[in-house]
Structure 1
Amino acid sequence: MPKELLFVGPRQVEIGEYADPPLGPRDVKVANLYSGISHGTERSHYRGEAVWHDRSVETDGFVTEGRSMKHPFTYGYEDVARVVEVGPEVNELAVGDVVIGSAHHRETRNFNLDLAKVGATARGVGVNVFPHALPVDDDLEKYVFVSLGTVALDAVLVGPVRIGESAVIVGQGVVGLLTMQLCKLSGADPVIAVDPLDDRLETAKRLGADYAFNPNHGDVGREVKRILGGPGADVCFECSGQAGGIGLAMHCGTPFPKVVAVGMYDGPAEDLYLGEEFCRSAGQILHSRSGGYRLPPEDPGGGLYHRRWDIIRVHNVIIKLLHTGKLDVSGLITHRFSLEEAPHAYRLIDEGAEGMMKIIFDLTAA
């Protein structure tokens, strides 16, 4: 029987077996090749700290009933897979096509193409992103970065960043590095990377950052203002997932700055001091999210997909940038594990292992 990764409790992951549901007329069955771990989000799930554990977000706020996540559950949304079977009414994809989609950390999954278009999900069937066919490419691993690439692109669109504007990106994990590169592609000048880890700053410079600063080595805000010869950066992105990074981003910006919070935040914000820049010069603080809670609809009555920059378009842009090499992810995958090695992989993420950037599960030998 095929295998899947299960989150069974705080800091507990196991490998389970499952049976694939019967293939319907509009279903597509895929076999996963690579499945990337989204470090920030999945660390929260691994620790049992994610805000939607045992509660869900409804129109009236957080509630304890309804669609909350309860152990055990599967997760994972950075998948590259090959189509192995299609239903008789499927014309969009064919056996042998390589696709990306939220197939979870499991060996196989069925997509219902009609349900996937509107974001429906169920255990083993359906996904929140329509499965995209990928271009012919010798390097398929790089497409595990599509999902986080859409997070970064949404952030740059929310900013927005214009040609000649200065941009600061706080946090140089995968999301920060992708956001930094997209700022460069948008014409931002200069683009300034900030991170407390020197090896990540070296990676940022290799991938195109004009300047890179470690906040542990001095006042980054003053350095930014010195470089710009003015009051601060036009747009600042907080990509670390640490609430204190929001204050640092404001410190790097102009008076009344535009700050885009890109990270996933859990728990209290003990290191965010509202009596400093927030109190004296807070401008626009925007939160960027991908998926179902992303850019505001241009037509409020038009529904999720009645937008110029809908989720399909955002995915297509990132796929093209990865395929052409304009979005460079070389060297970002630092660890590859089998599904059975998942407990070790999540311990590394939980502990913040030195030199770690991106962990993926390689299922090609499964």
Structure 2
Amino acid sequence: MPEDLSLEEASFFALGAICLQGVRKAGVEIGESALVIGLGLVGQLTVQLLKLSGAMPVIGLDLYEGRLKLARKLGADYVFNPSKVDVEKEILRLTEGKGASLTIEASGSPEAVNLAFRLTRKLGRVVLLGSSRGETTVDFYRDIHRKGLHVIGAHVSTVPEVESFRYYWTLKDEIKTFFKLLKMRSLNVKDLISVKLSFKDAGEAYELLRKEKDRVIGVLLDWTSA
């Protein structure tokens, strides 16, 4: 960890590595459209990394207005609430009627995976980053096979601990890269901290995250007095 990096910023290293390996596996090309579904901590970091990678436009979807507003501040070109607008119509409008070239599912919702398939263009890529749990029904022919989609599982456990000829970016490399981006002020994590609490109040942190999803995105636990 760089000496001139604050502990608050550095505390995001694990999430940063998760998002970096997901965006890296997506193989972003400069100028292609990218969609992020779910704008929690993972989604907000992913939006920033997509912008750094040259994606345009970067579009974010979430059900909470506070998260949409923050994503705009952090670099998203467009944001939409699926409960308020026809997102399929909006995505087509922004992508010349094609759909997103790349969609990263960051919400962890099984239903959002289907949405990702629908909103992605023919021959596009869908990256599953949000660790979706549970079951949902997928029309494989209509939404994947006929469209020629590439579906990429991006769980961080697939990142090797040591270099290999197939994938030389190790987990340690991702963490180092994340720290470099923070040091260069290419990433903003300070705005992801909604509340700061003592580690003794960890229970309250979970309640805030559960009940105040529009206002609270990240809770920082202070362990300095432990």
- TM-score between both structures, scaled by the size of structure 2: 0.90
Question: Are 1:313 and 2:173 an aligned pair?
Answer: yes
Rg larger in structure: 1
String of CA shifts for 1:291-324, please: whole Å, max 9, x gaps: xx224x6xxxxxx412310111111100110112
Counterpart CA distance in 1 for 2:54 and 2:175 is 21
User: Whose relative contact order is higher, 1 or 2, with alpha carbons under 8 Å and at least 6 apart?
Assistant: 2
TM-aligned CA distance change 1:149 to 1:257, over 3 Å: same
How far off is 1:266 after superposition? Answer: 2.4
Offset at residue 330 of structure 1 (A): 2.6
Structure 2: runs of 5+ lacking an equivalent: none
Which residues of 2 match residues 118-137 of structure 1 at below 5 A? 134-137=1-4
Q: CA deviation at 1:241?
A: 0.6
Q: Superposition pairs for residues 33-48 of structure 1, below 5 Å?
A: none
Query: C-alpha separation between the residues in 1 aligned to 2:170 and 2:182?
Result: 19
**Residue 5 of structure 2 contacts residue 183 of structure 2 at CA under 8 Å; is this kept in 1?**
no
Moved over 6 A (4+): none
Structural mapping, 1:15-164, within 5 Å: 134-137=1-4, 139-164=6-31
Report Cα offsets for 1:262-297 as digits up to 9, x if no partner.
Answer: 01222333xx5437634653611111011xx224x6
Change (3 A) 1:145 1:213: same
Q: TM-score w.r.t. structure 1 length?
A: 0.57
Q: Measure the CA separation in 2 of the matches of 1:247 and 1:200.
A: 21
SS class of match (2:191): coil
Are the equivalent residues in 2 in contact too, given 1:201–1:212 (CA < 8 A)?
yes
Q: Percent identity?
A: 35
Please tell me the root mean square deviation across aligned C-alpha atoms, in Å: 1.9
Letter in 2 for 1:294: T
Could you say which residue in structure 1 is the equivalent of 2:71?
Answer: 204
Number of residues of Structure 1 aligned to a counterpart in Structure 2: 222
Aligned partner of 1:287 in structure 2 is 153
Task: Please state how far the C-alpha of 1:139 moved relative to its aligned partner.
Answer: 2.9
- Checking the alignment, whether the CA contact within 8 Å between 2:65 and 2:214 is kept in structure 1 is no
- Paired with 1:138 and 1:182, the residues of 2 have a C-alpha distance of 19
Amino acid at match of 1:191: V
Cross-structure match for 2:187:
327
**1:217 partner SS:** coil
Q: Retained in 2: the 8 A contact 1:222–1:252? A: no
Q: Hey, which of these two has a bigger chunk of helix by percent?
A: 2
Residues 257 and 283 of structure 1 are in contact (CA less than 8 Å); yes or no, is this contact kept in structure 2? yes
Q: What are the ranges of 5 or more consecutive residues in structure 1 without an aligned counterpart?
A: 1-133, 298-303
How far apart, CA to CA, are the structure 1 residues paired with 2:18 and 2:5?
A: 25
